[in-house]
Amino acid sequence: MPRNIELKARIQATAAVHATAAEISQAPAEVLEQTDTFFPVPQGRLKLREIPDQPGELIFYERQDMPGPCASSYRIYRSDAPRELRDILAGSLGVRGIVRKTRHLYRTEGLRIHIDDVEGLGTYFEIEILLGPGEEAAEAQERADALAARFDIASDDLVDVAYIDLLEEAAGGGLPESGSVSS
């Protein structure tokens, strides 16, 4: 199963974070409107990501809920019929909730930097360092720590859970029955 090292944090100084990300990637951000529908599963997280005019991605991932860089393993299935897939999964599993965000994606070799404006939550920063086959996580975790320092991310800004968990917490422990949160 593919793996990466992830780090997520709340950010306030978005202009500075965008400038640093553009400097690192040496390219402007790709801006994506993403809708992630989460489904209840007994372990890990399962979501269907929909982006206008792109194939959908059914993503299963597992990672520990802890602040700072941590390992994540994931599987992705691409679908040219994401609405139909969403309907099948919702009908069979139910919907845990929906996360809507505008993602500014910066890429460079083996690294993805996300600046996410998450509906109902605010602005967040994520680093994903892709691990090659047999590559050890420790070196990538050190790189993630160095990047967090370069972006001036304080330890109390680190987030240890997924956006869906933050939305559920903001809604008092559960999302409305429709499974969607809007501002």
pLDDT tens for the chain, 183 residues long, are 889 999 999 998 899 999 999 999 999 999 999 999 999 999 999 999 999 999 999 999 999 887 888 899 999 999 999 999 999 999 999 999 999 999 999 999 899 999 999 999 999 999 999 998 888 888 899 999 999 999 999 999 999 999 999 999 998 865 544 444 333
How many Cβ atoms from other residues are within 10 Å of residue 107's Cβ? 16
CB contact at 8 A, 26 and 34: no
pTM for the full predicted model: 0.88
Nearest to 14 by CA among 84, 103, 90: 103
Q: What does the pLDDT read at residue 180?
A: 41
Residue type, 43: Q
The residues with which 153 forms a beta bridge, in sequence order, are none
Report the number of secondary-structure helices (H) and strands (E) in the chain.
4, 8
Domains belonging to the chain, first-starting first, are 3-170 (2.40.320.10)
